[in-house]
Amino acid sequence: MSPIINSLVMHFGEMGSRWGLNRTLGQMYALIVLTEKPLNADEISAQLNISRSNVSMGLKELKSWNLIKLSHIPGDRKEYFSAPKDVWEIARNLMMERRKREVDPTLTALRDVLLEAPANEQEEYAQQRVKQMHDLIEMLTIWTDELQNMSNEKVAALLKLGSGLSKLLDMKERLLPGKANKE
C-alpha cells in the first residue's frame, strides 16, 4: 500500500467510528474504494493486517449497506469486492441505508406518539414538540427522496448554488411578500 493510500485508510478507520461504523470497517471500505481492481478477502486481510474472519464479517456488513459489489473472476473460486466507481452512487447508497436504519424507525416512533391521546398538559406539550420534530424530519425525508431521483449533474448544480439559494429566497420574499410564511 502506498503512503498516500495508507494515510487515507488510517484516516477512514478513525472516522469510521464517527460515521457509525467501526474502525476496521472504515479501513476496509477505504481500501476497497481506493483500489482500482476488485480485491478478495485474503488480499484485504493481508494489506490491512487483520484477521480473515474479521474481514469476512466486515464484508458482510459493507454488502448489507450496499457499499460494495461482489464479482467473480473466471477460473477463480474467490469472491472479489469493489466499490461503485461513481461517488454519487456511494453517497446515495449511504443516504438510503442511513435513512432505513435511523430516520425511518424514528419517524415511526414519532408517529406512534402522535397517535396517542395526551393524558395531561405535560404530554400535550410533549406531543406538540414531537409534531414539530416529525414535520421537520418528514420534510427532510421528502427532500432527500427528491435528491435521490435527481441526476448527478442536477445535484451538483444544486450544491454549487450554496448561499445563492438563500439569496434567491430573500429575493422571493421581497417580490412576493407574505408568501414565504405560508409555505
Tell me the pLDDT tens digit for each residue of 108-145: 999 999 999 999 999 999 999 999 999 999 999 999 99
Alpha carbon distances (Å) from 113 to 88, 116, 131, 132:
36, 5, 9, 12
Which pLDDT value is given to residue 181?
A: 53
Number of structural domains (the chain) is 2
- Which residues are CB-neighbours of 145 under 8 A, at least 6 positions away? none
pTM: 0.78
Could you tell me if residue 180 is inside a domain?
no
Whether the predicted pLDDT of 80 surpasses 60: yes
Verify that 140 and 102 share a domain, yes or no: yes
Q: Identify the DSSP state of 50.
A: -
Contact present, 31 and 39 (Cβ < 8 Å): yes
Tell me the pLDDT tens digit for each residue of 47-79: 999 999 999 999 999 999 999 999 999 999 999
Determine the Cα–Cα distance for residues 97 and 42; give it in Å rounded to an integer.
Answer: 27
Crossing angle of helices 152-161 and 163-175, in 10° steps, is 70
Which pLDDT value is given to residue 20?
A: 74
Verify that 114 and 70 share a domain, yes or no: no
Whether the predicted pLDDT of 6 surpasses 70: yes
Verify that 142 and 78 share a domain, yes or no: no
Which pLDDT value is given to residue 182?
A: 54
Verify that 44 and 100 share a domain, yes or no: no
Among 59, 82, 105, where does a domain finish? 82
pLDDT grade for 85, boundaries at 50, 70 and 90: very high
Instruction: Report which of 106, 91, 105, 107 is spatially closest to residue 147, judged by C-alpha positions.
Output: 91
**Averaged pLDDT of the chain:** 91
Among 82, 97, 114, where does a domain finish? 82
Verify that 7 and 35 share a domain, yes or no: yes
Verify that 72 and 115 share a domain, yes or no: no
Whether the predicted pLDDT of 173 surpasses 90: no
Verify that 91 and 77 share a domain, yes or no: no
Question: CATH no. for residue 33?
Answer: 1.10.10.10
Verify that 58 and 126 share a domain, yes or no: no
Which pLDDT value is given to residue 162?
A: 78
Determine the Cα–Cα distance for residues 17 and 132; give it in Å rounded to an integer.
Answer: 30
Instruction: Report which of 12, 95, 21 is spatially closest to residue 58, judged by C-alpha positions.
Output: 21
Verify that 78 and 92 share a domain, yes or no: no
Coil, strand or helix: which one is 155? helix
Could you tell me if residue 179 is inside a domain?
no
